[in-house]
Amino acid sequence: MVQNGSTLTENSRIELNTEAVPRRLGLLTSGGDAPGMNAAIRAVVRTAYLRNIDVIGIRRGYNGLIHGDVFKMGPNDVNGIITKGGTILYTARSPEFETKQGIERAADTCNFHGLDALVVIGGDGSFRGAMELTNTLAEMGSSLSVVGIPGSIDNDIACTNYTIGFDTAANTCISAIDKLQDTMQSHERCSVVEVMGHKTGHLAVYVGIAVGASVILAPEKPLDFERDVLENLRNAKILGREHSIVIVAEGVGRTQELAEQIHKSLGLDTRVTILGHIQRGGSPSARDRVMASRMGEHAVELLCAGRRNRLVVTHDGAIIDIDIAEGSAMTKSLQPEMYRTARVLSLSAPTR
């Protein structure tokens, strides 16, 4: 969440600064892919075209920047991509970029291709990498204006209410679990479903509420197996529920072991389903397409206004921006009202 004292700029207040308009803009996607990234790419390229800014697409994130895997992009390169999941620029982890030599090589690529601006679509790690790159370029006597756009199916970037890809991933999970519930009900089984969320449970809680789960486990909450799992499932059985859904964020771990413990303790016929990477794929939802498009346009307009080192974020439904260092330093916890709703509706004792 955006904290008091943060410097926010509303979209309507952005004014063009003709002296600040970049000549050549680099564009990359980094970290885990998320549905809607292509919509953001499309928006950046088209907005830049209208501002007479050259766009250089960088394949495979910072790894591509290190190795010069770049190409010039125009409107024809982004036709039809708004409906597609993933990212046409590809994405990759780059251990090499975590070294001083790797960052210097990436900086050399920026100078060689004359980049004076960079739009990064990704997560907190991608934004910290962008800051390291700008610092290195400054030491080399060059400057680079950076704007970040948050893309993550985990919705775990603290400075923004919403990240690109979350809505589509949640709907993918819900659709799959709804189908599972049909067969679980037929066989009177307990379905233990693992969703993504290595360090956070935002997706698990959101999906758990949407599918009416009896149990939702998130890595932020210490697990008391008796209280958090067995008690809930016993209550569901007493109230006549013949099948139950247990949602487990992957960061909780031991999903198969949890299912075996449920069977051993309660005698329930349990089945484990790990949704895995299908959560990252698929055609983006309307919400992800629209939010990504608005964020992409906003990113270019910020650069044209001479605003550098910013993150495009959402706050109370508005598209705004915040300093990249300030935003990357924030931390995000589970929304207490969401977790309380999950507890109440699963007929557990609500947390205070």
Distance CA 280, CA 142 (A): 37
Please pick, among 33, 69, 154, 156, the residue that the annotation labels catalytic: 154
The set of residues, in sequence order, having a beta carbon less than 8 Å from that of 149 and lying 6+ positions away, is 40, 119, 120, 121, 122, 164, 292, 295, 296, 299, 311, 312
The answer to whether position 49 is within a domain reads yes
Query: How far apart, in whole angstroms, are the C-alpha atoms of residue 187 and residue 333?
Result: 37
301 and 209 in one domain?
Answer: no
User: Is residue 343 in some structural domain?
Assistant: no
Rounded to 5 degrees, what are φ and ψ at 9? -125, 120
Active-site residue flag, 228: no
Q: Which domain holds residue 147?
A: 9-164+284-328
The reply to whether 138 and 271 lie within a common domain is no
Edge-to-edge strand order for the sheet containing 70-73?
Answer: 9-10, 318-323, 310-315, 145-150, 117-122, 24-29, 54-58, 70-73
Do 245 and 97 share a domain, yes or no? no
Q: Are residues 118 and 237 in the same domain?
A: no
Task: For 32-100, give the secondary structure using H, E and C.
Answer: CCCCCHHHHHHHHHHHHHHCCCEEEEECCHHHHHHHCCEEEECHHHHCCHHHCCCCCCCCCCCHHHHCH
The pLDDT value recorded for residue 183 is 87
Using left for φ > 0, alpha for ψ between -120 and 50, and beta otherwise, residue 76 falls in alpha
- 120 within a domain of the structure (yes/no): yes
Same domain, 207 and 292: no
Domain end marker among 280, 297, 313: 280
pLDDT at 342: 85
Is 205 found in the same domain as 68? no
Q: Is residue 1 part of a domain?
A: no
Q: Looking at the structure, do residues 58 and 190 belong to the same domain, yes or no?
A: no
Q: Tell me, what CATH number does 55's domain have? A: 3.40.50.450
Residue 2 located in a structural domain:
no
pLDDT, residue 240, reads 82
Closest CA to 167 of 138, 207, 136, 223: 207
| 109-147 confidence digits (pLDDT tens) | 999 999 999 999 999 999 999 999 999 999 999 999 999
pTM flag (> 0.85): yes
Residue 318 lies in a domain: yes
Query: 140 and 69 share a domain?
Result: yes
CATH number of the domain residue 264 falls in:
3.40.50.460
Give the C-alpha separation, 305 to 321, whole Å: 13
In a domain, 186, yes or no: yes
255 within domain boundaries: yes
Mean pLDDT, all residues of the chain: 92
Largest CA distance in the chain: 71
| Intervals of the chain under pLDDT 70 | 1-13, 347-352
* Number of structural domains the chain divides into: 2
